[in-house]
Structure 1
Amino acid sequence: MDDSLEAYSRHVFIDVGLLEENDGSETDWFLKNYPTRNKNFEIYKINTVTEEPSGKEKSQIRIFDWLRKSVKEEEYVVLKAEAEVVGEIMKSNSIRLVDELFLECKPKQSNKGIVEIEGLIGSV
């Protein structure tokens, strides 16, 4: 299996997390530790919201819609996201756009039980 990134026209890292957890640590981890093989990655930090909009927020888009509009299958996409977000992406079939997935599991914070998260891992 060839693991070269040469064949891809674009390289993208997408970090999806809650707005209140946006401290930049995951993006820092990627920059310091991910084997980019001397390729430049475009980095996107996407903040999710957990409440219904009150009307004062900017217009919101579903993560799977953003993914479909922002990346293509011929591009190399690395996604880091929480289990709930990955579940949404899988239901929409947009997971096919992701080449590499880092699943963040915080069952105490997300109402997802460990069994549900294990099931999600099994279905990926």
Structure 2
Amino acid sequence: MNSRKPVFSKYAPPLKLIIYGMLLAFLLLTCLAVIWNKSYPNLSTAALGRQQVEECRVLEYRRKLIPRLEPLILEEPLEIWEGLGNQEKNVKYLPSMIDLSTNARFIYIDLGARDYDSSIGSWFLKQYPKQNKTFEIYAVEADKAFHKQYESREGVTLLPYAAWVKNETVVFGSKPIIVKDKVWRMRPFGRIEGQTAEADGLSAVTRVPAFDFVDWLKRTVRERDFVVVKMDVEGTEIRLVEELVERGAMCLIDELFMECHFDRYVKCCSGERINRFNYSYAQCYDLFSQLRNEGCAVHQWW
């Protein structure tokens, strides 16, 4: 019995030509994908985060500077410190160790700016070494009580929102500290506590608009810019830092001054702690250490 041979058209292309054609098509699609990602970097938030983690790397020279920063405070301070606390004279600022002449822009972002002299006027403009560079200043403050004073401040842009990881309305306010069934004093609280404060019947609450700070940062600054951030956001800093890392934006910040809020001892209560943030000083210390290990020039703010 004769085996049947397959019938080919006389116009059928050779096998090698088919393979070469497939390879060329693959290369063409790959090139188009690269061009698409460069032209439209905000199409997919999840994919963008993974991509930025790979592309947005901490520069090697910055990693080498981390050991030259002031040591972190190992033991929890029992006193209430403000700003840079007792470390103010020991702080090693990045501009005291590097040359800023190669940077494109110079930007200072104050998250939780409060009033102008809280940190912008009293600390950044007077004490931070700027190498005669003019910094663009952004004051991020949701409390309307502080907004008017920024109207006459040249060179300062007010962002009247709360710094958060998405655009939404959040709750801020104050709640009582109760000691032995009596109100000792009212204390402010941030977005984290605001989730439950409305239901306790004791807190004074207000709703404020919040914005996606991570997204704003990625749209506003570039890697060639020199960016300084002060972060004092009443317990929201943990989530903000997580999002900055996961979405590939942390390396856009050259120097970070961050207050990590933890449950402190208070003098009124015989050594008792107020469980305000459910976060310990040891956890804060570990967070600072981890950030420095990753190449972030972070300082403790109080």
Smaller-chain TM-score range?
0.7 to 0.9
How far, CA to CA, are the matches of 1:116 and 1:80 in structure 2?
20
1:103 aligns with 2:258: yes
TM, length-normalised to structure 1: 0.79
User: What is the aligned residue count?
Assistant: 117
**Alignment correspondent of 2:279:** 112
Report the Cα offset of residue 61 of structure 1.
2.3
One-letter code of the match for 2:111?
V
One-letter code of the match for 1:5?
L
**Alignment correspondent of 1:8:** 103
How far, CA to CA, are the matches of 1:40 and 1:87 in structure 2?
30
- Check conservation: 1:12, 1:77, Cα contact below 8 A: yes
Q: Which of structures 1 and 2 has the bigger CA Rg?
A: 2
Question: What is the aligned counterpart of 1:23 among 115, 138, 143?
Answer: 115
Greater relative contact order (Cα < 8 A, sep 6+)? 1
One-letter code of the match for 2:285?
E
1:72 aligns with 2:222: yes
One-letter code of the match for 1:113?
S
- Alignment RMSD, CA only? 2.4
SS in 2 for 1:96: helix
**Alignment correspondent of 1:62:** 212
Structure 2: 5+ residue stretches without partners: 1-60, 62-96, 142-161, 163-169, 171-190, 196-206, 264-275, 292-302
Distance 1:23 1:94, change over 3 A: same
Distance 1:104 1:57, change over 3 A: closer
SS in 2 for 1:61: strand
- Check conservation: 1:87, 1:120, Cα contact below 8 A: no
How far, CA to CA, are the matches of 1:6 and 1:110 in structure 2?
41
1:42 aligns with 2:42: no
Report the Cα offset of residue 45 of structure 1.
1.3
Structure 1: 5+ residue stretches without partners: none
Report the Cα offset of residue 70 of structure 1.
0.9
Report the Cα offset of residue 120 of structure 1.
1.4
TM, length-normalised to structure 2: 0.35
SS in 2 for 1:116: helix
Q: Deviations over 1:12-40 (max 9, x none)?
A: 011112xxx71231112101100001000
One-letter code of the match for 1:74?
R
**Alignment correspondent of 1:91:** 246
Q: Deviations over 1:101-123 (max 9, x none)?
A: 11223324644321221121122
Q: Deviations over 1:40-98 (max 9, x none)?
A: 0001112325157xxx855x421111111111111000111143333432232210101
SS in 2 for 1:35: coil
